Amino acid sequence: MDQNELRLLESGCVQEEPPECMAACPIHVDVRAFIANVSQEKWEEAWKILRKAMPFPGIIGRICDAPCKEHCKRKEAGQAIEIGMLERACVKTQSPKQRIYPLPKKDKSIAVVGSKLSGLTAAWDLSRKGYKVTVFESGSQLGGDLLSIKEEILPHNVVREELDILFSLGVAAELDSSVNDENFLEDLARRFDAIYLGPDYRNVPSGLKDLKGVFSRGFLQYDPKSPVWQAAEGRWAATSIDRFLQKVSLTSGREKEGPFTTRLYTNIDYVPYVPAIKPLNQASGYTTQEAIQEAGRCLNCECLECVKACSYLEKFDSYPRKYVREIYNNANIVAGRHPANKLINSCSLCGLCEAVCPEGFAMQSLCLKARRDMVQKGKMPPSAHEFALLDMQFSNSDQFAMALHEPTYESSAYIFFPGCQLCASSPGEVKSVYAHLRKTMTGGVGLMLGCCSAPAFWAGEEQLFEEQFSMWQRKWADLGRPQVILACSTCYNIFKTYLHEAPIISLWSILDETGLPHDFTSLKDAVPLALHDPCTTRYESHLQTNVRNLLQKMGQPFVDLTAKSEYAECCGFGGLMQNANPDLAKTVINRLAGRSSADYVTYCSVCRDNLAGAGKRTVHILDLIFLKDGESDPAARKRPGWSQRQENRLRLKNDLLNELWATDRGERIDHAGPVLNISSEVWQVLEDRRILVTDLEEVIHHAEISGHKFYNPDSGHFKASLKLYNTTFWVEYIPSDGGFTIYNAYSHRMEVSGKEGQ
């Protein structure tokens, strides 16, 4: 990512765009922050925010016509915030002390003609920039028309105090000036380096106005009576004069100088209607308490649509614009810690952020790109995805993977590819589906077992993905490139993107088209289920429709879990979140499980198992279509553990080969190892730590053969370790009943060595 790409990406997130009020204000007061301070009774802070953008806040704060108000989002859910009245309430409180630090004096002098707010603002801004400013006023005092405002609205002493600040900056005033004299302007042009003719100066002789260094009102679109517009005009003139004297571009970078349309999106769909607070005394405006109440109605406009929708984005306490910068910085660290690794590897890559973002910001693209970059540079933490990648390699090894034509067929019109996780979760249903497809589809339905290699894709392991996916492609090509029937929407996404030449079709489309099995029996006393669409069907609305049709055909009542089909949520498996950040994955699945009190139905086996693992009663649609005899409560099925998931795949291949192809693999699938007694508490430990039964068996086998183990005379327990792949596993056990009772297991990746004889 280079700097330009960084900025382009950053601009895709609108969270830091100004709110409507600030964008609409001619001088861009940070109205949102001002109101937030008022609501918290932080009057001094509120004052300071006004001062930052507003010249003479004691004056303008009392008479501001608040053109921002009509842009306030609150009016869509009640009435606009009474911003002008809040300004008045603020400036009536004691003003905090201020110190003004003008820039070093410059040797240029400027004449300002007229002392309405426009001229005064120009004088204020220019004097703070270090220029020597003289204000020419035809009347006998500065700010004449301000003193004509009713005393109870704008007390004269306030005007005088504010103007005293101007004088303290060294601004000179020439009162009773003959500004309409024929030679007045020519005289000024000789004496000063630049001249500002305020809006009240009407006798600009044509010709002189075009002289270099003479600036006059340029913006005619506004209400000339508006105090804040007058101030804005003075400010813009001051900026032009400063740029003119500094000999820099008068125009560049000034597009947002006046009111502009902000890109900030604020969702007010769920904002309750609240009307404006009415002051008890209309003439004197809000009391401080009334102002605080009114400020409390402010929506504090911000976007955060993605953060509200995604636990991952919420977890890292910021928003995509900031995350882009963190990820960019992370990639550019040569030596030292890479603090954004966790951020990059925790995203489920599900794309919900992109679906809910008003500008379509895709965090998943950013994270995937960063992962690929880390892998290429050898900077990917080895532990982040290893467990899932080993599982993928298991799925694509001879232990599970196979590709065969339908028994008795020598070619295939179709192949059924159930995907690795359905086989891991419900091997029985894979057999039922395959039997059903063989009955309903003509031309031969072959079978392929394996993994689509999505884990390598998610891990950013492009080369590994390419290798594994090509292996799959070769096997499929050897079968004569039949149409691929898919039961997993992750596989569907991967194949759709990378297997261009393959005609793919979802199992749900086939079942929707060919109908339910003729021996289909519905669940007795079917209660309405909440339908969870897997995140990988976000933009596959036809699959979502197929499933809804199937539920209807089954007579199974259901309600949608999300308002829109593209808002489908991830279960925490996607993008290998579960591997890289297991705690976050738990938060994600619990949030999904809490969306409805009804039992769920879904059509992704991983979603089903993760929901079941979170204690949420959930059925897979295949549990309903191929309901087993006597099965009355498929939603109660537990999530199979990691070890069970591997064993299910191993056995499925073996069973299918034996039952359908009458092939003996010549491998012993039945438990070859010793009997392990494992309590439910220890099972949970193994699950949380992703330790497989086969790992335990290997450690114990090695310890028992080599005698390399520890013994605790107090407990009678043995403890042994063995390094497998990149991990050292420790098991605490005792021999029992011809097998072993397991008390504990844990692992680490550091290699340990002692120093013999010491």
Partner 1 sequence: MTNSYTDPEDLRWKCHKCDMFLSVGPASLTYMGKTINARLPVCPQCGFVLISEELALGKIAEVEQLLEDK
| DSSP category for residue 274 | B
Which CB atom, from 384 or from 510, has the smaller least distance to partner 1? 384
Q: Which is nearer to partner 1, 396 or 581 (CB)?
A: 581
Pairing of strands 483-486, 414-417: parallel
Residue of 643, 587, 95 whose CA lies nearest to 346: 587
Paired residues of 747 in beta bridges: 729
Q: Minimum distance between the CB of residue 313 and partner 1, rounded to whole angstroms?
A: 21
C-beta closer to partner 1: residue 252 or 753 = 753
**Phi and psi of 731, rounded to 5°?**
-130, 135
Spatial CB neighbours of 757, under 8 Å, sequence gap ≥ 6: none
655 or 687: whose CB is closer to partner 1? 687
The nearest distance, CB 332 to partner 1, in angstroms, is 15
Q: Please, what is the minimum distance in Å from the beta carbon of residue 383 to partner 1?
A: 6
Burial class (CB in 10 A: 0-12, 13-18, 19+), 413: middle
Shortest Å, Cβ 649 to partner 1: 29
Tokens 């301070």 map to which residue?
A: 37
The residues pairing with 740 across neighbouring beta strands, listed in sequence order, are: 676, 735
The beta strand positions in 337-473, using DSSP E, are 402-404, 414-417, 445-449
In the complex with partner 1, which residue's Cβ is closer, 275 or 707? 707
Q: Cβ 339 to partner 1, closest distance in Å? A: 7
* Of residues 347 and 625, the one with the C-beta less far from partner 1: 347
Q: Taking the complex as a whole, how short is the minimal distance between the CB of residue 384 and partner 1, in angstroms?
A: 8
Q: Report, in Å, the least distance between residue 373 CB and partner 1.
A: 15
Least Å distance, CB 750 to partner 1, is 4
Q: Strands, DSSP E only, in 15-88?
A: none
221 Rama sector, left if φ>0, alpha if ψ -120 to 50, beta otherwise = alpha
Binding site for partner 1 (CB under 8 A): 335-339, 341, 381-384, 707-714, 718-719, 721, 728, 730, 744, 746-758
C-beta of residue 743 within 8 angstroms of C-beta of residue 732: yes
Which is nearer to partner 1, 384 or 551 (by Cβ)? 384
Tell the smallest beta-carbon distance from residue 341 to partner 1 (Å): 5
Phi, psi of 155 (to 5 degrees): -60, 140
CB of 38 to partner 1, least distance (A): 44
Q: 């139905």: which residue's tokens?
A: 601
> Considering beta carbons, is residue 253 or 716 the nearer one to partner 1?
716
Query: What is the spatial distance between Cα 583 and Cα 580, in angstroms, rounded to a whole number?
Result: 9
Residue 324 CB, nearest approach to partner 1 (Å): 19
Closest residue by Cα to residue 449 from 413, 411, 488, 410: 488
400 versus 729: smaller Cβ distance to partner 1? 729
Nearer to partner 1, 220 or 335 (CB): 335
Q: What 3-state DSSP class applies to 263?
A: coil
In whole angstroms, give the CA distance from residue 712 to residue 718: 6
33: left (phi over 0), alpha (psi -120 to 50) or beta: alpha
3-state secondary structure of 600: strand
For helices 320-331 and 3-11, angle between their N-to-C axes, nearest 10 degrees: 160
Is 484 in contact with 476 (CB distance < 8 Å)? Answer: yes
Closer CB to partner 1, 495 or 729, in the complex: 729
